[in-house]
Amino acid sequence: KNVISQAEQLEELQHQLHSIQLDLQ
pLDDT digits (tens, 9 = 90+) for 1-25: 678 899 999 999 999 999 999 999 9
pLDDT for position 1: 64
Query: Residue 3's pLDDT is what?
Result: 80
What is the SS3 assignment for 2-24?
Answer: CHHHHHHHHHHHHHHHHHHHHHH
pTM: 0.61
| C-alpha closest to that of 4 among 20, 12, 14 | 12
Structural domain containing residue 25: 1-25
Structure confidence at residue 23 (pLDDT): 96
**Number of domains comprising the chain:** 1
pLDDT at 4: 83
